């Protein structure tokens, strides 16, 4: 697979995470914890720069191994406004897209832009016939992003509760090759 390390998405740029961004990422997470904690199991009061550094090291290793492709969402001035990625956990012919947005930048369409361009990148890869977004039914904001990004809701599935507000049910949204 040939996944680009940098993608121009118009208002934002998606850039492969690097260890040099640990402090920026950690600050974005810290400010956004109240919004992230309900649905992101990694977002806890105990989250610190050590956890962020561990994530970035794992992201680098996973990228090189072709397991997951995690990006910083950056403004033109290189400010971190969130994170997103293509994940292979749903099987060999599908990418799952995940995203989160810094609280101070929510509602500006950044997650939608990221989902749109990641869907295009994912569907352009050999052997990938669909991309998915999965989110908890109690998190309708993620569903609005999926719908605006051109995904179609196709199922609801039981899911393990991993974060405080998880309901145990996820909605599955899909985009396929045209």
Residue 178 to residue 167: CA distance in whole angstroms:
33
What pLDDT does 177 receive?
85
With bands split at pLDDT 50, 70 and 90, how would you rate the model's confidence at 119?
very high
| pLDDT of residue 1 exceeding 80 | no
Q: What is the pLDDT of residues 92-110, one digit of tens each?
A: 899 999 999 999 999 999 9
Residue ranges of domains in the chain, CATH in brackets:
6-176 (3.40.630.30)
Interval 31-42 mean pLDDT: 93
With bands split at pLDDT 50, 70 and 90, how would you rate the model's confidence at 143?
very high
Which of 168, 75, 100, 86 has its CA nearest to residue 130?
86
What pLDDT does 109 receive?
96
Strand partners, 136: 170
What pLDDT does 145 receive?
97
Our CA angle for 135, 136, 139, nearest 5°, is 95
Residue 91 to residue 41: CA distance in whole angstroms:
22
What pLDDT does 38 receive?
92
Which of 111, 163, 171 has its CA nearest to residue 137?
171
Name the average pLDDT for the chain: 95
What pLDDT does 178 receive?
78
What pLDDT does 32 receive?
96
């Amino acid at each position: 697979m040939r996944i680009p390390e940098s993608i121009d998405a118009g208002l934002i740029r998606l850039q492969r995470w690097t260890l040099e961004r640990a402090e920026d990422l950690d600050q974005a997470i810290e400010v956004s914890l109240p919004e992230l904690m309900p649905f992101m199991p990694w977002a806890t009061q105990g989250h610190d720069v050590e956890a962020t550094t561990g994530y970035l090291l794992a992201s680098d290793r996973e990228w090189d191994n072709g397991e997951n492709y995690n990006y910083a969402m950056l403004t033109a001035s290189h400010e971190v406004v969130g994170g997103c990625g293509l994940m292979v956990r749903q099987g060999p012919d599908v990418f799952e897209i995940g995203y989160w947005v810094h609280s101070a930048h929510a509602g500006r369409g950044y997650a939608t832009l990221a989902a749109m361009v990641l869907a295009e990148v994912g569907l352009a890869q050999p052997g990938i016939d669909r991309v998915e977004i999965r989110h908890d039914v109690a998190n309708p904001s993620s569903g609005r992003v999926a719908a605006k990004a051109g995904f179609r809701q196709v199922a609801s599935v039981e899911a393990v509760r991993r974060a405080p507000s998880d309901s145990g049910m996820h909605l599955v949204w899909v985009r396929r090759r045209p």
